[in-house]
Amino acid sequence: MTNLASAPVSAARKPAILIVDDAPDNLGVLRTMMLRQGYQTFVATSGERALDIALRVKPDLVLLDIVMPGMDGMEACRRLKAHQATARIPVIFMSARGDTEDIVAGFDIGAADYIAKPLRMEEVCARVRAQLRIHDNSASQSVHADRLRMIVDSMDQGLMIVEDGGRIQYANPACERYLGYRPEELVGRRLGELMASDAGSETVEGTREVSIRHRDGGLRAMDLTMTPMHAAGGLHVALLHDITHHKQSEDALQRAAMLDPLTQIANRRQFDAFLDKEWQRAIRNATPLSLVVLDVDHFKLYNDTLGHAAGDACLQKVARALQDQAARPTDLAARYGGEEFVLLFAETPLEAAAGLAETIRAAVEALQLPNPRSPTSPWLTVSVGVATIVPTQLDGIEQFFVCADRAMYAAKSGGRNRVEATLAGAAWETIQGAMSDAAGM
């Protein structure tokens, strides 16, 4: 069962709300109300589970009950604010504790708002809308600067700003990986000093292959692209790309342990390296990249009922079903951890990726591995999330994973044993632009 048509709108436009409350009645009412408001909704009944979900799906806002067994809301909020990945997510406390000191304590540990119980749903919705607006406005003020810093500081290619005479004015952090010199050591040097051949034309425009001398004395074959900065006369942007990088990466992976010892398919280390390589290739060629995240439904029940040996055999059979679909050199199936698997399909649009995911889902179900205590099916099943992106330098791999994870969670909340597919990043904006152009014709 694949939900393809509506998923892109949901994942691309709807804010995600995480509701945390150990009272099922409160949780149900809040979830229903948030869904009616058009939000993606995730739920947790404990502080520990809330932290796990928040790290995976990066919600736009957290509605957090304070009084809970185990980790209470105060501690959960404190940990959310202490973690870099979740520190900026606004938290609204919900509590019957309405004393001034309780409210002040909530704000002191980073809460954005505090709602007294019993809850008035209209007030809750209004406060959620207000916090989402504040969060969006705050993010938009710094998004352009953050994106520029991300492009320059996190890009895989070495980037330098070079004057007409070849003097290096700026070097990004990646240059140290390419050249062995820290960025500040490169500033003031001439680009020609780093070249093995005559450097009389360091700033010639275009792309050419050059030999660059690394700080360790070795030579590196690289593509050097020089582009004039028209807004700043006399300056050029120099891009370095190591054309031996992919071969070196493959050699390093062959020397390392590349396979998951249980399933004998790729492990997380190999998958991360492969994804990074295909991500950069997709950016250069402007081609779609599809990520499939798959989780075995009720696997703990399977292990508890049939034993760990049966659980291991089950994972091996699931892995083989996945491996059968990763047929091309640009495809890779991997065990990402526990009962979670991932697949990457390069140069694969969303519809084709969703079809492959549905084939995988059906193949696992067709194994007819009994799962006696599963409330979903008498057989072992999987929930599958698919995300497709045509990546640019403005996109990030982490957000790509978040989109696929959200799709997988949507498959689980939709009943399990199903596929949910969505577009991510600039791919969605491209579709929207095409639709707008078509409407204007």
For the chain, residues classed under CATH 3.30.70.270 are: 248-440
Q: Report angle CA 309, 313, 315 to the nearest 5 degrees.
A: 115
**What are the CA-CA distances from residue 214 to residues 57, 163, 179, 182, 220 (Å)?**
41, 21, 5, 12, 7
Of the CA atoms within 13 Å of residue 26, those in its CB half-sphere come to 21
The pTM score is 0.53
The DSSP-derived string for 335-367 is: EEETTEEEEEEET--HHHHHHHHHHHHHHHHHT
Each residue's pLDDT tens digit, 372-384: 888 989 989 999 9
> Among candidates 289, 253, 296, which has minimal Cα distance to 399?
289
Q: What pLDDT sits at residue 139?
A: 61
- The domain 2-142 is placed in CATH, from the list 3.40.50.300, 3.40.50.2300, 3.10.20.30, 4.10.80.40, at 3.40.50.2300
Task: Quote the tokens at residue 395.
Answer: 């996109």
Strand partners, 2: 419
- The pLDDT confidence band at residue 143, using thresholds 50, 70 and 90, is low
Strand partners, 292: 343, 386
For the chain, residues classed under CATH 3.40.50.2300 are: 2-142
Homologous superfamily assigned to 248-440: Reverse transcriptase/Diguanylate cyclase domain (3.30.70.270)
Contacts of 81 (CB under 8 A, 6+ apart): 87, 91, 109, 110
Each residue's pLDDT tens digit, 339-393: 999 999 999 999 999 999 999 999 999 999 998 888 989 989 999 999 999 999 9
For the chain, residues classed under CATH 3.30.450.20 are: 155-242
Q: Cα(428)–Cα(431) distance, rounded to whole angstroms?
A: 5
- The pLDDT confidence band at residue 198, using thresholds 50, 70 and 90, is low
Residue 407, exposed/middle/buried by CB under 10 A (0-12, 13-18, 19+)? Answer: buried
- The pLDDT confidence band at residue 254, using thresholds 50, 70 and 90, is low
More confident residue, 98 or 108: 108
Q: Please state which architecture CATH assigns to domain 155-242.
A: 2-Layer Sandwich (3.30)
The DSSP-derived string for 122-185 is: HHHHHHHHHHHHHHHHHHHHHHHHHHHHHHHHH-SSEEEEEETTSBEEEE-THHHHHHSS-HHH
